[in-house]
């Protein structure tokens, strides 16, 4: 039912690693917890058993979500990224025209966003305002603290 998810090669590998870890490490550990709790006797009043079963349900739900995301993932070919205008996987250098500060972001799929690494989700207000714009254009962005105007200084891969 969900749409296709676009990821970088690294983003897909990260999801696959997490899925493998959940299947090979977390799932057996929870099965062991359930077995140990079951050995303690009456299951109707066994809080450890209930907690382990709940953890198992949460884990299986996470595994199913990852499997679904991986099945619907499409890897973006970074070599075919156009840098004549801002789009996903572009590195964009911006100048805040109010205070002349410079910032640089790489626009990435939402699942790969990490502001500490300068990876900005394409779903953010700044990214949405930048998409399709060209070097030298000015863009007004509505952010919680007000309106900010950025000038696009450079677009690269």
Q: Which domains does the chain have, with CATH numbers?
A: 5-75 (1.10.287.180), 79-156 (3.10.50.30)
| pLDDT in the model for residue 55 | 93
| pLDDT in the model for residue 110 | 84
| pLDDT in the model for residue 92 | 94
| pLDDT in the model for residue 57 | 95
Provide the percentage of residues in the chain whose pLDDT is more than 70.
97
| pLDDT in the model for residue 105 | 93
| pLDDT in the model for residue 120 | 92
Instruction: Decide: 37 and 48 in contact? Cβ < 8 Å.
Output: yes
| pLDDT in the model for residue 1 | 42
Q: What is the mean pLDDT of the chain?
A: 88
Low-confidence ranges of the chain (pLDDT < 50): 1
């Amino acid at each position: 039912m969900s749409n296709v998810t676009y990821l970088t090669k690294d983003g897909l590998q990260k999801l696959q690693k997490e899925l493998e870890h959940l299947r090979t490490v977390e799932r057996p550990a929870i099965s062991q917890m359930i077995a140990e709790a079951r050995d303690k006797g009456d299951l109707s009043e066994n809080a450890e058993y209930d907690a382990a079963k709940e953890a198992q349900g949460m884990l299986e739900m996470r595994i199913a979500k990852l499997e679904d995301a991986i099945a619907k993932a499409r890897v973006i070919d970074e070599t075919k990224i156009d840098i004549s205008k801002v789009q996903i996987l572009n590195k964009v250098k911006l100048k805040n025209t109010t205070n002349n500060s410079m910032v640089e972001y790489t626009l990435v799929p939402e699942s790969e966003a990490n502001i500490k690494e300068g990876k900005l989700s394409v779903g953010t207000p700044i990214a949405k305002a930048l998409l399709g714009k060209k070097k030298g254009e000015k863009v007004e962005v509505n952010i919680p603290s007000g309106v900010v105007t950025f000038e696009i200084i450079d677009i690269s891969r």
